[in-house]
Structure 1
Amino acid sequence: MARRTFVRAAAVFGAASLALAGCSSDSDDSAAGGSGDSAASATTVTTDCEPAQATAGATPVTTPLKIGTLLPETGSLAFLGPPEVAAVRLAVDDVNAAGGVLSQPVELITGDSGDTTTDTANSTVDRELAAGTQVIVGAASSSVSLKVLDKIASAGVVMFSPANTSDQFVCYPDKGLYFRTAPTDVLQAQALAQLISDDGAQRVSIIALNDPYGTGLATNTQNNLVEAGVPEDQVQKIIYDPNAQSFNAEVDQIKNFGPDAVAIIGFEESAKILTRMHEVGIGPSDGMLVYGVDGNMGNALGEAVAPGLVDTMRGTTPLTDVGPDFQNRLKAIDPALIDFNYAGESYDAVVISALAAEQAGSTAGVDIAANINSVTKDGTTCTSYQQCLDLLRGGQDIDYDGVTGRLNFTDAGEPGIGSYGHLVFGPDNRLTTEDYIVVGE
């Protein structure tokens, strides 16, 4: 795929935290596994498949569209809930202000996802399915989504996550009813590999936690580095148990390999790994090129290590420059908002669903699903529900480019284009956004 880098003015990035990794996978779901130079013991997933596609029903359903939410109001990802909830409310308001769907207002039914330690998600889904929802926006955590996806798909209802990034969903047997506006980690691997190769690294160590998020991102990054010209035997991959008490053995393997760059794909335990790297003289503040990902590129990492220890460490996280106007509109919904993580993705999930229902002439879940991919590509570009609705009613095909930018959904029901912040730690262990890396079609 073509790679393009869009550079904007540097801005302070303070909203991300280590807990953002929960969007990809809950760390308490990690499979225990040993460390070494291969991923033989790790959980792996495939992304080489022909994803299932929903088939529209024979008879349209014209009852009002009901959208439910499955977003974290409680649990380990509760900090993500407010911007996502506010964005969904804003999108429903915008859709209804334009006349709704099939000339009827959209009804919003809200619900908590909790996290993997509770059964909150199942209870919420049961209630929303009983209420007749045709689309459920959520969950934020991939692990939570996997707990309820089969139930939602079996009911013929669309599940639309604004924050899942795990590769597991690419080939998941979801009956063509699962979608997401967050870009898959297949794309983040491209962005990370681009960052590393652009810095001239030719001997790279990748150390990743043993779960589908970690092993998938590590393997894809390795493959992209090789495609970028790094010799295959010059890429070391180490898979570790995130629950281990010490990572000394893994760090010693890295030191013995003698890389000129190290990529750390992990969560909170990254602080221990970086501290050990510094102890043996291969940390970012020691001159080593060190890279992170959405699981650890947050200011919480800087707060968890010694002052200046992560200076110059850089990495990627899904990030779109949504601009102050959108943020101000969200704050009108929830004046207490301080973060905007995945707000754009939540807004776009609602608008895309509404446009798909309008294009289908039906609010049945399978009919909506059969039209979701097409409203994001290969038509006349439009950037608001009202503008797109006018085009649809004029008989035109549409290409909705949302708050998060170009979407171009693939057959797997996910963006074919991913926007990532290129983040850098300064000497004060605080992050700034250097620029944006856009990868994909």
Structure 2
Amino acid sequence: MAKRTLVRAAAVLGAASLALAGCSSDSGDESASGGDGAAASATTVTTDCTPEEATAGTTPSTAPLKIGTLLPDTGSLSFLGPPMVAGTQLGVNDVNAAGGVLGQPVQLIPGDSGDTTTDTANSTVDRELAAGTQVIVGAASSSVSLKVIDKVASAGVVMFSPANTSDQFVCYADKGQYFRTAPTDVLQAQAVSQLISDDGGQRVSVLALNDPYGTGLADNIVKNLADAGIPEDQIQKIIYDPNAQSFNSEIDQVKDFAPDAVAVVGFEESAKIITRMHEVGIGPSDGMKVYGVDGNMGNALGEAVAPPLLDGMQGTTPLTDVGPAFQDRLKGINGALIDFNYAGESYDAVVVSALAAEAAKSTAGRDIAANINNVTEGGTPCTSYQECLPLVQAGTDIDYNGVTGKLDFSDAGEPSIGSYGKMKFGADNKLTTDGYIVVGE
């Protein structure tokens, strides 16, 4: 199969034609823990590289495939955990129903990632590596992934995130063992910028938390808005400490700037930010055009802010039109689900890993990694494990188009196409999906 050289600049330049996931520091630990906002915002991470790719070993393994999870049961992203856990479980169920991997059922070993304030992720990874996992699905947070990626890669285990969007992973020295089904923030920035520009935004403030996810996405939003024709002096970027007691100073700066649009790149602290924006008269319900991203555009934000303060707030999250049938199947795993963010990405991470193991005729982590990109692009299209499995077993080169649609992984082990839901809060602080934005094609 022909391999493509990653040209990340193309995704950025694509924003110039618009109508209109974090990479602030070379040290993931520093930026994840807060650090200096000004320094973080000034640091860039290159995405112009030849990514490392795994090489299959010389001794295939026929041991049962064990998939561990590193997903947020606790911590600041715990609201994202349930749909990802359900998607992973459903993926394992479907793989096993179709015959498993190398004729054996896949074993699922669940684990909590916590967040950057704890060492939960390291403890989980240690336990799962000791149990012999060959694939770990997670983490959700880019900062958490950066805490454990070296350990996982050095063990020859696949790390497959359904939700990391930081650009820092594009060129990361991961021995070719890291993959993700979530599109990079280079693509989400295009989608957010398109929303802002379509609404007529001409003077924009960007508020972003100080971690690899926040600063990377903020940098890309600013670049895309500038590429779309907004003068640089009409764009304000403020990097904040997500653990601060208040955000009054930052919001005062926004008010003084007098924007006609505000993008908030954050997690659970976004509730405090939106509440304070309303107190000074620049919240969504006050008429300000406010935009969120995947880190905060969930019903958890609606529950944390008094109605109707979110009324009219829009934003993006990696989302494809998976349809009610898939959502119903997820509810069969967890009947309490109200959000489905990253459920499809988690499901596809499992199926792609299983197909790669079948293609390798081995469940060794390095063998799986060497085949992941290949099963997502350039071959005979198929859309389920049940459909793809006999093709792979017959030696056919496949192109798995999953629940999340076309994946077409680049050499960096990530989708080259990003589909985003256009999300909007109503007066009841409930989210609805108002169509989709597809970028990067």
TM-score by length of 2: 0.85
Q: Secondary structure of 2:143's match? A: helix
Runs of 5+ in structure 1 lacking a partner? 6-19
Q: Distance in 2 between matches of 1:177 and 1:276?
A: 42
- Displacement of 1:355 in angstroms is 0.8
Q: Distance in 2 between matches of 1:40 and 1:117?
A: 19
The residue aligned with 2:312 is 312
8 Å CA contact 2:143, 2:213 repeated in 1: no
Q: Distance in 2 between matches of 1:387 and 1:235?
A: 49
1:235-250 to structure 2, matched below 5 A, reads 235-250=235-250
| Deviates most, 297-306 or 324-333 | 297-306
| Deviates most, 63-72 or 203-212 | 63-72
| Deviates most, 150-159 or 137-146 | 137-146
8 Å CA contact 1:315, 1:424 repeated in 2: yes
8 Å CA contact 1:160, 1:178 repeated in 2: yes
1:31 aligned onto 2:39: no
Name the structure, 1 or 2, with higher relative contact order (CA <8 Å, separation 6+).
1
| Deviates most, 62-71 or 302-311 | 302-311
1:104-253 to structure 2, matched below 5 A, reads 104-253=104-253
Identity across aligned pairs (percent)? 78
Q: Distance in 1 between matches of 2:153 and 2:68?
A: 14
| Letter aligned with residue 260 of structure 1 | D
1:341-420 to structure 2, matched below 5 A, reads 341-420=341-420
1:63-142 to structure 2, matched below 5 A, reads 63-142=63-142
Q: Distance in 2 between matches of 1:121 and 1:382?
A: 34
- Displacement of 1:257 in angstroms is 3.0
Change (3 A) 1:296 1:399: same
Change (3 A) 1:193 1:41: closer
| Letter aligned with residue 106 of structure 2 | V
Change (3 A) 1:26 1:299: farther
| Deviates most, 266-275 or 222-231 | 266-275
8 Å CA contact 2:31, 2:211 repeated in 1: no
1:70-101 residue CA offsets vs partner (Å, 9 max, x unmatched) = 23344444444443333323222322232222
Q: Distance in 1 between matches of 2:35 and 2:415?
A: 31
Change (3 A) 1:235 1:359: same
Q: Distance in 1 between matches of 2:123 and 2:302?
A: 37
Q: Secondary structure of 1:308's match? A: coil
Change (3 A) 1:307 1:345: closer
1:90-123 residue CA offsets vs partner (Å, 9 max, x unmatched) = 2223222322223333333333334444433333
Change (3 A) 1:208 1:360: same
The residue aligned with 2:294 is 294
Q: Distance in 2 between matches of 1:268 and 1:111?
A: 22
The residue aligned with 2:274 is 274
Change (3 A) 1:307 1:82: closer
| Deviates most, 255-264 or 344-353 | 255-264
Q: Distance in 2 between matches of 1:249 and 1:141?
A: 26
Q: Distance in 2 between matches of 1:434 and 1:383?
A: 26
| Letter aligned with residue 57 of structure 2 | G
The residue aligned with 1:10 is none
1:377-420 residue CA offsets vs partner (Å, 9 max, x unmatched) = 11121100121122223332211111111111122211112222
TM-score by length of 1: 0.85
- Displacement of 1:246 in angstroms is 4.1
- Displacement of 1:348 in angstroms is 0.8
| Letter aligned with residue 343 of structure 2 | A
8 Å CA contact 2:32, 2:212 repeated in 1: no
8 Å CA contact 2:384, 2:400 repeated in 1: yes
| Letter aligned with residue 192 of structure 1 | V
Q: Distance in 2 between matches of 1:115 and 1:263?
A: 24
- Displacement of 1:274 in angstroms is 3.4
- Displacement of 1:142 in angstroms is 2.6
Change (3 A) 1:358 1:120: same
8 Å CA contact 2:409, 2:415 repeated in 1: yes
1:350-370 residue CA offsets vs partner (Å, 9 max, x unmatched) = 110111111122222111111
Q: Distance in 2 between matches of 1:53 and 1:230?
A: 38
Q: Distance in 1 between matches of 2:150 and 2:57?
A: 20
- Displacement of 1:57 in angstroms is 1.8
Q: Distance in 1 between matches of 2:269 and 2:336?
A: 31
Q: Distance in 1 between matches of 2:362 and 2:424?
A: 47
| Letter aligned with residue 393 of structure 1 | Q
| Letter aligned with residue 217 of structure 1 | L
Q: Secondary structure of 1:218's match? A: helix
Q: Distance in 2 between matches of 1:63 and 1:299?
A: 41
Q: Distance in 2 between matches of 1:309 and 1:275?
A: 7
| Letter aligned with residue 164 of structure 1 | N
Q: Distance in 1 between matches of 2:281 and 2:220?
A: 28
8 Å CA contact 1:264, 1:270 repeated in 2: yes
| Deviates most, 178-187 or 258-267 | 258-267
Runs of 5+ in structure 2 lacking a partner? 1-10, 23-27
Change (3 A) 1:179 1:278: same
- Displacement of 1:293 in angstroms is 1.5
| Deviates most, 184-193 or 310-319 | 310-319
1:34-53 to structure 2, matched below 5 A, reads 34=37, 44-53=44-53
| Deviates most, 104-113 or 410-419 | 104-113
1:261-310 residue CA offsets vs partner (Å, 9 max, x unmatched) = 22122234434443444444433333332212223323444444454333
